[in-house]
Amino acid sequence: MSGFPLRVLVLEDHSFQRLLAVSMLRQLGCSEVFEAADGAQALALLQEVGPVDIALCDLRMEGMDGLEFLQRVGDTRQVGSVILCSSLSADVRRSVRQIISLLGLEFLGDVGKPLCMEALQALLKKRLHAPATRCSPPPVPEVVQENEIRRALQAGQLQPYYQPKFDLGTGQVRGVEVLARWEHPSKGVLSPAAFMPLLERCGLLNELLFEQMEQALNLQRQVQSQGHALNMAFNLQAAQLANDELAPRIKALLTRHAAFGAGLTFELTESGLLQAPQTSIKNLVRLRMMGCCLAIDDFGAGFSSLQRLCVLPFTEIKLDAEFVRALRHEPRCQAAIASTLALGRALDMSVVIEGIETEEQRQQLLRLGCITGQGYLCARPMSGGQLLHWLGQQRICA
């Protein structure tokens, strides 16, 4: 059996289980295998032998438990990747996986108990062929100055990009979400993370929104001339919604373009609506009176979803992409998606599932009764010209 040039630490308090894990790793040809009976021993061992590539980690044990150990190594960067090996219930292990991710550690997999050599070997191969990148800190967006972002707005460098929403059964495009991208003259295309926080701090969100809407409504008219009816969805922040001038400006824009409100959707994250002031609610009602659709975005990622759905006049639920990512191996996520679809039907609201990237996910969602989705399986965000060409080619993702 070919070996793995990997240093592995086994953290397991049960002596037989620890012996079994060490034996399997050595049989699989790991270059160095270390063992510890609790977290404190493991930390002391790492001080002696240095960092390891993988920690094969139990969770519940006497002394320092596996969770505390992971917290410590998340700070010291002495472990590259983590494999969970625990008999705790699936829901507890799922929560620990979230913690591992938040700690900046790479999660390789969950082998459960009893330990299986084939499963362990597959994860070692995964680590070997896709080395962890977590040891390098994530890139920090470059600091952008206010005068630079203002010049970019004036020069038209902040451009709308369009990501389709599609019918999961037929592949037909049902609409697009309008996203901001900075076409920087020297740095290339920058994502919103590089500039949106500054735009919000400088009070420039509305300037960006209305510039996007001008271009998107012109594009919508071009798309209509090609025989496509395309709803345009724009993201709104809570601060914008609290502005008395928002709805009147949108109404004036629609009038100037001879466009209908029914062709627009405004997406709002539920986290921004925890305490919607009176002005915000009035703006939502006025947008609905104009015929616009309202979507609650990243549904399931906040804390007041059901209350917001009952109080505010939403017409669409956008389910957070995290549910789709866990769809294959998390029965609870399947149940959450099915329940959201049922809730949408009961409230007469459409449901859009975000983050669909594979054909397997599409098929699973169809079986659950989902109709509309969004994600890289259909298309990535694209410029207006690219969208026109894409639609002209009648590109179908089903």
The span from the CA of 269 to the CA of 225, in Å, is 32
Six-digit token string for 284: 């939502």
Residue 349 φ/ψ region, left for φ over 0, alpha for ψ in the -120 to 50 degree band, beta for the rest: beta
Distance of alpha carbon 271 from alpha carbon 2, whole angstroms? 50
In contact, 380 and 163? CB cutoff 8 Å: yes
Whether 177 sits among the annotated catalytic residues: the reply is no
Helix (H, G, I), strand (E, B) or coil at 397: coil
Structure tokens at 303: 């804390």
CA 343 centroid distance within chain: 22
Q: Which of 32, 267, 354, 359 is catalytic?
A: 354
Q: If you count DSSP H runs as helices and E runs as strands, how many of each does the chain have, helices first?
A: 16, 14
Q: Classify 41 as helix, strand or coil.
A: helix
CA distance 124 to 25: 9
306 alpha-carbon distance from chain centroid: 21
Cα gap 31→117, rounded to integer Å? 17
Q: Cβ contacts of residue 220 below 8 Å, gap of 6+?
A: 230, 232, 259, 263
Which are the catalytic amino acids? 354
